[in-house]
Amino acid sequence: MPQAPKTKIAQVPRLTTTLAPRLGRYFDLLPLQVEQLRQTVQDSVEANPFLMVEELKGLTIERPSFIQPKRRRAWDVGEGDDAYQDRDAWLAERPKSLQAHLLDELRFHAHSERDFELGLAIIGEVNEDGFMEAPLEDIAPWVEASPKELEDVLERVIFKFEPAGIGARDLREALAIQIRAGQHKNEELLLSALEKYLDLISKRDARTLSRKMKITEDQAREIIDIVETLEPVPARSFQQEYNPPLTVDLVAEVDEERIKVAYAREATPKPLINREYVALLEGGGSASEEERRFLREKLAAAKDFLWAFERRQETVLAVAQAILEYQRKFFIKGDKAMRPLKLSDIAEGVGYSISTVSRAVSGKKVETPLGILRLKFFFSPKVAGRSRREILDAISRLVEKESPGKPLVDKELVQALSRQGIEIARRTVAKYRRLLGIPPASRRRRR
């Protein structure tokens, strides 16, 4: 009779890397846009009595009465105090911006640092309706990835977000994501109808739909009813709850000799350590050892937050300064002077990783003599081996030479560009055409 294999249990030493709390907080704060940062600072101040904020124009934070040092001591509040319960409920109900929500969803669903980095680039292109505006072919050079790698993250990570449909590239895809998330019993039939006959569904034409799909009219009506329950605007709930003011993160002064970048003062929160509470802690009072330990933990958390905030501000400012310095000629000579620029170019110049630079750039806006521009605007990676400016110029020339009676549609522009050695998708051509202010072919046709 063969003997069972023997098993052996042994302890093996292994090295693992864990982010220190303050470093993790730094990476959390880095990608936040100015509205999200203000909200995060406000929430942190209200949750930690050892934090306070310098009041600036456009930023006023009032501490609730139950954590005012002049009214009561920090250790006078018991575990079951209604004031703390009210505060937690109040913070939980506070409306959140779409981008802040997407960032939370990404942290939850990303399986690796690379997933997070690519996901960050993708959600940065999601508009207020919840749809992704930029083609993956445009995003790929920005994060030095292939469109296939981005497609994988989009389907495996972003399409798992709530509400379902966020990150879709068009209405049909948004509805398909919601159908899959709903786990309908006739999922394949629903998806097939959506793919081929969305126009009939929108017209509620059950008779034609049943004939085209070779199903009964009852089945066709059921398909129509189900699709009508879906949300055509995935981010609608955030539009109702959140309407942030138009603010910029940075202001740039430009002349022929130098560029100076600084934070917009009215948009920059300034968290500080509340010295009154530190004095209360150091004074001791009647607090028990357990209460003092809790307060020391709160003070340590406040110091970690302050360190992370200051490092975040330093990083964003250094990255923005490097970007604008690199593109200084753009402000003097115009769009044609824009130099091809990748994340790795800035990362090497400022001494940060590509992932850190990507976070620092995400969603940030700067006010310049030429208007308010996103930092991402200054990156002009090569697409299909050409700079964006070269592709824009090529499209302009093709449109200038086209026949007035038979203008080139986007598909024909793709073919014409391909003959010039520029291989890009039709969706990318449509985006670049809109950037140039060129209307579609149907509106360019003239006798």
3-state secondary structure of 246: coil
Q: Are 217 and 207 in contact (CB under 8 A)?
A: yes
Give the count of alpha carbons within 13 A of 205, CB side only: 12
| Token pair recorded at residue 14 | 């292994």
3-state secondary structure of 407: coil
pTM: 0.58
At position 1, the amino acid (one-letter code) is M
pLDDT of residue 151: 93
pLDDT of residue 72: 30
User: What is the pairing mode between strands 371-374 and 365-368?
Assistant: antiparallel
| Token pair recorded at residue 350 | 């400022």
- 334 dihedral zone (left: phi>0; alpha: psi -120 to 50; beta): left
Q: What is the pLDDT along the chain (447 residues), one digit of tens a residue?
A: 555 555 455 454 443 434 567 787 888 888 887 877 888 888 888 888 888 887 544 433 333 322 233 333 222 323 333 333 333 343 344 456 787 788 888 888 888 888 888 888 888 888 888 898 778 887 887 778 888 999 999 999 999 998 899 999 888 899 999 988 887 778 888 888 888 888 888 888 889 988 988 988 888 888 888 888 888 888 887 765 444 455 788 899 887 778 899 888 766 678 888 887 787 777 666 667 777 788 888 888 889 999 999 999 999 999 999 999 998 888 887 766 778 888 888 998 999 988 888 888 887 888 888 888 888 888 866 655 666 777 888 898 899 888 888 899 999 999 998 888 888 888 788 878 877 778 888 888 876
3-state secondary structure of 366: strand
| Token pair recorded at residue 273 | 């350590």
pLDDT of residue 159: 93
pLDDT of residue 82: 36
Q: How far apart are CA 323 and CA 328, in angstroms?
A: 9
Q: Are 105 and 43 in contact (CB under 8 A)?
A: no
The set of residues, in sequence order, having a beta carbon less than 8 Å from that of 383 and lying 6+ positions away, is: 137, 138, 141, 391, 424, 428
Report the candidate in 337, 378, 339 with the shortest Cα–Cα distance to residue 357.
Answer: 378
pLDDT of residue 285: 60
The set of residues, in sequence order, having a beta carbon less than 8 Å from that of 134 and lying 6+ positions away, is: 125, 431
User: What is the pairing mode between strands 250-254 and 365-368?
Assistant: parallel
Residue where the block lists tokens 């300064």:
321
| Token pair recorded at residue 431 | 């985006």
Terminal C-alpha separation, the chain: 94
Q: How far apart are CA 300 and CA 297, in angstroms?
A: 5
Ordered alpha helix ranges (H), 351-425: 354-361, 388-401, 410-419
| Token pair recorded at residue 180 | 């899959």
Alpha-carbon Rg for the chain in angstroms: 27
Ordered alpha helix ranges (H), 327-387: 328-333, 343-350, 354-361
